Amino acid sequence: MRQEDERGACADGSAELPTRTLLLDNYDSYTYNLYHMLGHVNGVAPVVVRNDAFGGCLRAAWDALGPFDNVVISPGPGRPDRVEDFGMCAQVWDLCAKDSHGPVPVLGVCLGHQGLCVAFGAQVQLSTEGPVHGRLSRLTVADEGDCSGTDSALLFDGIQPHGEQVVRYHSLAAVPHTIMPPLKITAWSYETQGPGGWEQAPGTVMAVQHTSLPFFGVQFHPESIGTRCGLRLLNNFRLISTRLRQNSRLDVNLGQRLEPRQSTGALQKSHMNGSAQDSPLAHQAGDSLSCSHSNSRSSSSCGDRSLHTRVSALRSTTNSHFDWDTQVVFESLFGECNECPEGAPTSEHFIPSFWLDSASSDPAHGARFSYMGRADGDYAELVSYNVDDRSVTVQVPQKQSSPSHEQLFDTKQTFICRAGFFDFLETRIALKCENMDRKLYDRQGGFWAFEKETRLPFDFIGGYVGYLGYELKQESVVMDLDDSSNRSRNRHRSSDPDAALIFADRFLAFDALSKDVYIVCMGRDERDFEWIDQVERVLEQLRGKKPKSRRSNTKKLSVPEVLFVPERSCEEYMDDIAACQRKITEGESYEICLTNRLRAECVIADAFDLYAHLRDANPAPYSCFLRVQPDLSVCCSSPERFLKIAVSGQVTSRPIKGTARRAPSCPSEDADLRRNLESSVKDRAENLMIVDLVRNDLGRVCELASVQVPQLMHIESFATVHQMVSTISGQLPASDGAAVRCIRAAFPMGSMTGAPKLRTLEIIDSLEHSARGIYSGCIGYFSLNNAAELNVVIRTAVVRSRSVEIGVGGAITALSEAASEYDEILLKGKVLVACVNEVLGHKRGVEADDDVRSTATGADIPGSRQKTSAVVAVAVDGARDAKDQSEQESGTTPAWYLPQQSDSKSHSVPRRVAVADWVQ
């Protein structure tokens, strides 16, 4: 085995020069994992070029950016014999064989490997194993082979010849008997991990090489977090290239260099087993509270006119629980009900409000702080955005002449932002920072000090709070917004703003660990900071106060149900699952997150009432309540973090893939469900695919070789479900706007799309009938100090003036079973539907003969097809045991899911029936 210390020096003892790699991107979602690993082993970041850049001409790219020491062709969707899928990559073999400095080494990965096979006469067909995506296989190296002109450096040198674990993502494969000289097979796979362990499989070609040129192909993915030999293989490829390097290439611009260079083994360990505590990038919250904008102003006092931040902190009498109930505080300080007739906010009384609520109060789930406030400060504003015409509307509060000096909203400005929303947000934050003092002050204007601390324990010091809707993908997945061929262009338009953000100039922060409450306020003079005193007085009055009971004993009442109509019926959804699996089999995607929408026509007078029920029934670490328009509120109980970006630039994501119901009334069954989820080959494959996708997304903006996976496929248990959660982290460069650019690079969250992201988004748009809107987007904050934290919008009800909409969905893979996938989306919607029914029953003062159900049918829902559809119904008494889902058996249809009569004129009230009563 070649020793690691040979990597840093040439044969004559001189320092080894970095290796320049041209990385050709086939619009894949794992390309930047290769980018970081190649950058590490090469000592310099590779140059990434998409396969249709430079007019699809590889020679033009080479002349403009080269020369290069080697070329790597990325994986990607589709087929190598289709120009639209492979682009300029098909030109690689001829150009690299005839380079004036000698043959240039080429490594093809997955699609690139298949392209090498096709270029030299082999056939590529559907794999005899079927699609193998995100699954582990054991590698068998055929023999040591030969590589002319490379000083006997071999691609598999030092790699275990039998049993090396690799990850595969492919549906197509090279047909072995068609691989003829000058190609030869260098590795196979005969074993793949299945539900019963390692299963024997037909021999699949895993690697080939040219016998006289330095051309190599591997079918597996060396860049996957689950491939053990990835860095070793890429380092071997570097060594092959080093021995072919010509001296005439030494004067090129070497770009970014890594110092010092870690050993291959060390970096592989940091990817697989690193922890946040052991990482040199680990960040303690509150390390810096200064605004990072270069024009930020510093002041030693509050005597000037720059914008200052003052903080007051109140401590609970015990650190075991809060002296204040957060729900009581929100309703007392930021609720709308007391100000509006009958509790319903109108345009005359409307003030946007927010509550980023760590409802689980369990820091182990990753959420420690909650933030609440509303847009009634002197510097507050509400920003909304429409992605279709790129229009931005900024609304600000205006002081009224009424005795209460109530602040009402009217439109201040509407304009077109040609550069798109993310550029607007980055610029807006920078402008807010220009006149902001870097220091924190206490409520009297002295320097901030609480228990001898001069830093806050949290990163949010004020900024924008709100949501980014799913349709902003049009401006994130493809960066050129004016490209008429933008393949991420939306097919569906949301009726809600595609983004809505409140500028929070004053708010409360609750620390679930210390039980302290912080009052944070921005202002320029003493009048602005009077709000702190007012809030302190209210909080003292609210110590120990409990929330009002929102539940009445309605079990004895016969309460009709609210009917939720799926946008696509069970039959249609099953058809779409089959369509997804056809695309996966054809090699167009590895995983597709398919979703559906449940809608009910009903009036919820106070959306916060629904949220209060939801946080009680299903507490989650990334819950939130938003009221952004008089007729638009969001009630979210998400367990999933999209991104957390600390002031230091450390970014963390916690994607969830893999869900199992809980059986809280039977601990042994609950433990079995947890173990089954942990060992599920299907769920582990789903999770691995998204982990590799998130690594790629963060890799687009993070510092070279900084992306790590400190936690892989960990099971976390919530009130109603077990979830498989992974953690990915990275380090952003120190620059203004890095947080916004990071969110753009990763949006939408991979767990809500699938991979490869761009091609999969096209498939999703072709199958789904309407915009996802707020669902599948993210909610959180963008702080003025370059920090940010956002969730993934799942387990969410969007409340409008006369309707409620719930998004549900799941990841479809080659291993998916349609019935189980449909059961999963019903499980995800159950608690939300139950809470809607309970709220309506309680708010109306339910009587036995009240009829509060919806009479909506498929014809009432925009975009629904006139086929046999289905209705979701939950009796109010069903909400009593929303936390206990033990009655739902695996593979069965829950009692609250009832079929709609095929006769659209029938509006009979659904009743609980046995499954056999309606399944034909």
Active site residues: 110, 221, 223
CA-based nearest residue to 372, from 465, 257, 471: 465
Residue 8 structure tokens: 């840093």
Amino acid at 17: L
Q: What is the C-alpha separation between 77 and 758, in angstroms, rounded? A: 10
CB 279 within 8 A of CB 729: yes
Q: Give the single-character DSSP code of 376.
A: -
Could you give the count of Cα atoms lying within 13 Å of 636 in the half-sphere of its Cβ? Answer: 32
Helical packing angle, 757-767 and 570-585, nearest 10°: 150
Measured at the alpha carbon of residue 475, what is the angle toward residues 474 and 478, in degrees to the nearest 5? 85
Which residues make beta-bridge pairs with 136?
Answer: 167
CB 200 within 8 A of CB 123: no
Q: Give the single-character DSSP code of 284.
A: -
Q: Which residue has the tokens 């080269």?
A: 66
Phi, psi of 408 (to 5 degrees): -110, 160
Q: What is the C-alpha separation between 491 and 307, in angstroms, rounded? A: 43
Phi, psi of 60 (to 5 degrees): -65, -40
Q: What is the C-alpha separation between 504 and 461, in angstroms, rounded? A: 9
Which segments within 82-182 are labelled E, that is strand? 106-109, 124-126, 132-141, 162-170, 172-174
Q: What is the C-alpha separation between 245 and 10, in angstroms, rounded? A: 11
For residue 253, how many other CB atoms are within 10 A of its CB? 7
Query: If DSSP codes are grouped into helix, strand and coil, which group holds residue 371?
Result: strand
CB 680 within 8 A of CB 688: no
CA-based nearest residue to 268, from 224, 220, 231, 222: 231
Q: H helices within 225-263, ranges in order? A: 230-242
Q: What is the DSSP string of 388-454?
A: TTTEEEEEEEEE-SSTT--EEEEEEEEEE-TT-HHHHHHHHHHHHHHTEEEEEEETTSSBP-BTTB-
Examine residue 176 and say whether the peptide bond preceding it is cis (omega within 30 degrees of 0): no
Q: Give the single-character DSSP code of 908.
A: P
Secondary structure in 3-state letters for 6-45 = HCCECCCCCECCCCCEEEEECCCCCHHHHHHHHHHHHCEC
Q: What is the C-alpha separation between 262 and 705, in angstroms, rounded? A: 10
Query: If DSSP codes are grouped into helix, strand and coil, which group holds residue 668?
Result: helix
CB 381 within 8 A of CB 395: yes
Residue 155 structure tokens: 């691609």
CB 264 within 8 A of CB 232: yes
CA-based nearest residue to 29, from 662, 902, 750: 750
Distance of CA 881 to the CA centre of its chain: 31
User: Is residue 14 classed exposed, middle or buried when 0-12, 13-18 and 19+ CB atoms within 10 A define those classes?
Assistant: exposed
Could you give the count of Cα atoms lying within 13 Å of 359 in the half-sphere of its Cβ? Answer: 25
Q: What is the C-alpha separation between 582 and 344, in angstroms, rounded? A: 48
Q: What is the C-alpha separation between 26 and 30, in angstroms, rounded? A: 10
